[in-house]
Structure 1
């Protein structure tokens, strides 16, 4: 089996990798709900990766925390940023494995630019009715406060051109960004713009590499994004700890991946939060935090053909 952990529940099947605790596959009745990536293959575009201790980008890889300047490794040289944290590149250890549940852990114990000690956990649970639930946890195991943010990077699969898919995105505001995809001013309302998908409609030519916030939530505090194509639909939900969604329409990706799916990335904070402090979680020694999101097969939205 190698790095692969296979889970099943009813018509759902999932594969999780010990490398990065990555989500490699999620299917319902043999229908792929997300982009698959074999556990032994390096993903081309972070598909299925968990993002911690920061999601998205830190501009120039530099930030000041508690009066101390830190310099992260630049991992996105074309934009001069530190991208998507550290956890995706680390081996995770299995804590408990069952047919429908996998718990993994990872210790971050100091890295260039991040000299903090965090115990990370990821729990993947499959349910025959509700699909996949992922719980991300972090505990500060060090002796000083630590900055923290988390996210995930699933790409929702579609069976044809993304332009024909119908999107329901529960976001009232978008984050303007500069050419490096770093924040450029405060969030702006989406009302009246091409990025308003609060009412389901076809994506058409709209291009996304955009952070959204002001998320509409149901009575359980969950924000639901639904992507429909024909008779199929897949939903991503995120709990109240995830105040942001990065949406990426796979622009310019290689090997037939260009606009063949939609990344819907729950994030606890916006891009460059280590610099701005916006929605940044600060964990004191011994403190911990939890965040939950999920993916499920659902019914198509109105407007689907």
Structure 2
């Protein structure tokens, strides 16, 4: 007897979603029906694929190994579906992007949506570590990273490189200046991003190489929170020049002697790069960069 496809499908949905309830919603089944399929799988093979408690569902060691196989299985199933859908010229489908900063990819997304209005595009944000994890866990088709990553599993496309700038509220002592130097940041109250943020890592490396100190006024998660903290006068912030925008509450200050730049790299899993939706989107991005 071969393993039941419906049982594998139920297992895979629970593993991807981390929840029997969300898996049931994805499969358009009842939660008891999904639970029953997973239970039958476990009973037939005498294994446990999930650790269950009232608050969470976690993969066991056997479950982790099985999940690696079902990812490949359902990736192939997706490829077969998209091969057949090719003849409909991308009239339906979905594209999920995980990005560190939407501003860098939105112009390309706008062109793609205008040309293929039937494709549902979803954008989720997070720091570089977050979005890379989403890509490798198959929760995103493409990831936009704030740093270069050397990994043979990835197909990469460099989008841009921008300098680091400081920004302060209009009431800050530096607000009347046209620029600053790294030494000005030495022991100055700074609004820092969360650990794992490329912005924070880049600042820390630049300051360390110059022998300068970082004084944390506050630590916040996300670019928007950093902007709000700076706007309220908690301290100075740093950001990629391309990501500051035009908020009238703050003033941008070039850092004259800062050597580091922020790179933005679009990546996908090399094994997935031939999927028509991904290949088409990447081709449009390349054309946009060359234009």
TM-score normalised by structure 2 residue count:
0.23
Flag the structure with higher helix content.
Answer: 2
Flag the structure with higher strand content.
Answer: 1
CA radius of gyration, larger in = 2
TM-score normalised by structure 1 residue count:
0.22
